[in-house]
Amino acid sequence: MLLFKVDKLVICSYDVMIRFIIFVIIAFIITKTPISVITKGNLIDKLIINRYYLSLQGDIKMSEFIKEVEKRRTFAIISHPDAGKTTLTEKFLLYGGAIQQAGTVKGKKNSKHATSDWMEIEKQRGISVTSSVLQFNYNGFCINILDTPGHQDFSEDTYRTLMAADCAVMVIDASKGVEEQTRKLFKVCTMRNIPIFTFINKMDREARDPYQLMEEIEQELGIDTCAVNWPIGSGKEFKGVYERNDKEIIRFIPVDGGRKEVDTKIMKFDDPELVNELDDELYNKLQDDIELLDIAGNNFDLEKVREGKLSPVCFGSALTNFGIEPFLKHFLTMTTTPLPRSTGEKIIDPFSEDFSAFVFKIQANMNKAHRDRMAFFRICSGKFTKGMEVYHYQGGRKIKLNQSKQLMADERQEVDEAYAGDIIGIFDPGIFSIGDTITTGKTKFAFEGIPTFAPEHFSLIRNKDTMKRKQFVKGVEQIAKEGAIQIFTELGGGMEEIIVGVVGVLQFEVLEHRLKNEYNVEIIKQPLPYQYIRWVKEGCDLSSLNLSSDTKKVQDLKGQHLLLFTNEWGVRWASEKNSGLELLEFSKN
């Protein structure tokens, strides 16, 4: 189904356009609503009208398909390290019944580990260094969570994950407010204009003033906020939250972190017992806060939320289960069904019957019992069925998807069918790369590529044991294809010595750890002085370039030519001394 946007009217293929016109006329006759009002709205509104019209046609099969897609909600969770992102993820899974007990992230040797942290180094260090894909059902919704690395050294993996999400949950530590990594990740979200929902965490500890926290979000991140609920106290005095829409107090009684549900008590604000539940100071402050929010706070506007201009804010504590389920319920009422996706030339409707998906992540050796490589696909339209034949656009051929999985961290189960919005893992014999597209239907297309950003740190690595050259090359190439590192070789050179580029230095540690544990290879690492790398636009003859003496010519895995510079002066010299030379800060997968 072809769709494109003119002002606020979506024009489709002729059959869909005629159905839409008929629907508008029927709506006008029945409701007497002006046609200008009926047709007002954005792309999502038009798709909703179209899909409901299809349901009205009595196409039972199509109607069931529509219902399945409408159930899907796919979002990423972002935060600064230690803000409680992984803990919040696990509490979501508890409420959805996907796990029975949460694993608290700790540094102690015998502590439990987070369900979403599957890699051995994550369990050792108590941090997330790779994105995890988790799915569960809750209140009639099928929810796909993309848990992202909080550490800034893995921000490129986070960016790729956000490309697969329709919205994001931003977790903020109530005692610290907006932190550096939060700013960076938020900027990535705004690049995609996706809705952002804020959960201010750790209210069971001493917290900053909630007004200050919301003001800081607005000033630092440039997005308006609207409090959906409001905290009553913090730290030891944290008594629960006030639900603004229902005008109710939800009192929380702390319980063990592993329990699914907390003991709650719902009270009306004018309930005489509330004064006894709260001391006079807290009660009076709550009255003042509610009045101030109603007068001076931003009004809730769902359209602005979905345009990424307004962030709804909820308060709670993931560790002690304060406010998690209310936040989840609010979130699900505000989020949309899977969003349309662009190929650069057209928009792909998620409710189209033709299947399409793209690779946003590749991971090998997720479990030592499964020495394989998985490509993670975000389904953008249609329905996936096991064994279906699809067209691999970048490979230029048809393939069968026989080995398909859905994963809970390193645990996996067969998946027979999935729908737009879902994330599935497909066994990859080495044919997929990040950004690849697979489709069915007559029209062949590729989704817009996922940018590869320029690394900032470089080292030369070589194998300690020359007898293990095969394992060394395989391991380094595999980890590079996953996007965890970028590798470069000198023009015409071999793989005996490889230049590795990373965004953050912790990625070097992960590389060494994985090579040793997954490929039984130890490496020697030599830091290099380069600080800048630029892709050279295709067609340029590197041998004829006038470059500074410390500039190095290299190529990447795909054979693309690049230049390594030790300083910014070298970049300027190359640009100024070589007319017509185009240097790019990133390429697209």
Say if CB 247 and CB 229 are below 8 A apart: no
Q: Mention every residue, 6+ apart, whose C-beta is less than 8 A from residue 241.
A: 229, 230, 231, 232, 249, 250, 252, 314, 315, 316, 322, 323, 326
pLDDT band at 232 (very low <50, low <70, confident <90, very high): very high
Q: pLDDT: is 340 or 587 the higher one? A: 340
How do residues 326-346 score in pLDDT, each as one tens digit?
A: 999 999 999 989 999 999 889
Find the helix packing angle between 506-519 and 469-481, rounded to 10°: 130
Angstrom distance (rounded) from CA 42 to CA 559? 42
pLDDT band at 116 (very low <50, low <70, confident <90, very high): very low
How do residues 71-105 score in pLDDT, each as one tens digit?
A: 999 999 988 878 888 888 888 888 777 665 554 43
Q: Which range is least confidently modeled, 110-124, 356-370, 567-581?
A: 110-124
The pLDDT of residue 393 is 96
The pLDDT of residue 281 is 86
> Strands 437-439, 389-392: parallel, antiparallel or unpaired by DSSP?
antiparallel
User: Which residue numbers belong to the known binding site?
Assistant: 79-86, 147-151, 201-204
Fold of 341-439: Rossmann fold (3.40.50)
Say if CB 236 and CB 266 are below 8 A apart: no
Q: Which of 113, 83, 110 is nearest to 101 (CA)?
A: 113
Average pLDDT over residues 453-469: 91
CB atoms within 10 A of CB 521: 22
The pLDDT of residue 8 is 36
The pLDDT of residue 19 is 62
Q: How many helices and strands (H and E) does the chain possess?
A: 16, 35
Residue range(s) of every CATH 3.30.70.3280 domain in the chain = 451-588
The pLDDT of residue 395 is 93
- The continuous run of DSSP H or E covering 381 comes out as strand 373-381
Say if CB 215 and CB 222 are below 8 A apart: no
Angstrom distance (rounded) from CA 444 to CA 462? 42
Helix intervals (H) in 279-396: 280-296, 302-306, 324-334
What one-character DSSP code corresponds to residue 572?
Answer: H
Structure tokens at 57: 């046609």
Structure tokens at 495: 């793989």
The pLDDT of residue 3 is 40
**For the range 2-5, what are the long-range contacts, defined as Cβ-Cβ under 8 Å and sequence gap of 24 or more?**
2/346, 3/43, 3/47, 3/340, 3/346, 3/347, 3/349, 4/346, 4/347, 5/43, 5/347
Average pLDDT over residues 129-152: 76
Say if CB 486 and CB 560 are below 8 A apart: no
Find the helix packing angle between 180-192 and 210-221, rounded to 10°: 60
Fold of 70-334: Rossmann fold (3.40.50)
> What are the angstrom distances between the C-alpha of 338 and each of 164, 202, 486, 575?
10, 30, 31, 43
Exposed e or buried b per residue across 31-56, where buried means at least 16 C-beta atoms within 10 angstroms of its C-beta: eeeeeeebbebebbebbebbbebbee
pLDDT band at 7 (very low <50, low <70, confident <90, very high): very low
Q: Is residue 108's pLDDT more than 90?
A: no
Q: Give me the sheet containing 2-6, strands edge to edge.
A: 9-11, 2-6, 347-348, 341-342
How do residues 170-208 score in pLDDT, each as one tens digit?
A: 999 999 999 877 887 787 787 778 899 999 999 989 999
Average pLDDT over residues 26-34: 56
CA atoms 37, 40, 44, 48: torsion sign: positive
Q: Which of 80, 90, 96 is nearest to 143 (CA)?
A: 96
Residue range(s) of every CATH 3.40.50.300 domain in the chain = 70-334, 341-439
HEC profile for 264-286? EEEEECCCCHHHHHCCHHHHHHH
pLDDT band at 424 (very low <50, low <70, confident <90, very high): very high
Say if CB 439 and CB 354 are below 8 A apart: yes
The pLDDT of residue 368 is 60
The pLDDT of residue 5 is 37
Is 108 strand, coil or helix?
A: coil
Say if CB 526 and CB 540 are below 8 A apart: no
Average pLDDT over residues 121-136: 56
> Strands 411-414, 417-419: parallel, antiparallel or unpaired by DSSP?
unpaired
pLDDT band at 67 (very low <50, low <70, confident <90, very high): very high
Q: Which range is least confidently modeled, 105-119, 229-243, 560-574?
A: 105-119
Fold of 451-588: Alpha-Beta Plaits (3.30.70)
- Residue found under tokens 């080495």: 430
User: Which residue numbers belong to the known binding site for GTP?
Assistant: 79-86, 147-151, 201-204
Q: pLDDT: is 281 or 377 the higher one? A: 377
The pLDDT of residue 510 is 86
Say if CB 505 and CB 153 are below 8 A apart: yes
Q: Is residue 553's pLDDT more than 70?
A: yes
Q: Which of 224, 388, 383, 246 is nearest to 307 (CA)?
A: 224
The pLDDT of residue 432 is 92
The pLDDT of residue 313 is 98
Segments of 431-559 assigned E as strands: 437-439, 451-453, 457-463, 486-490, 497-502, 523-527, 532-536, 552-555
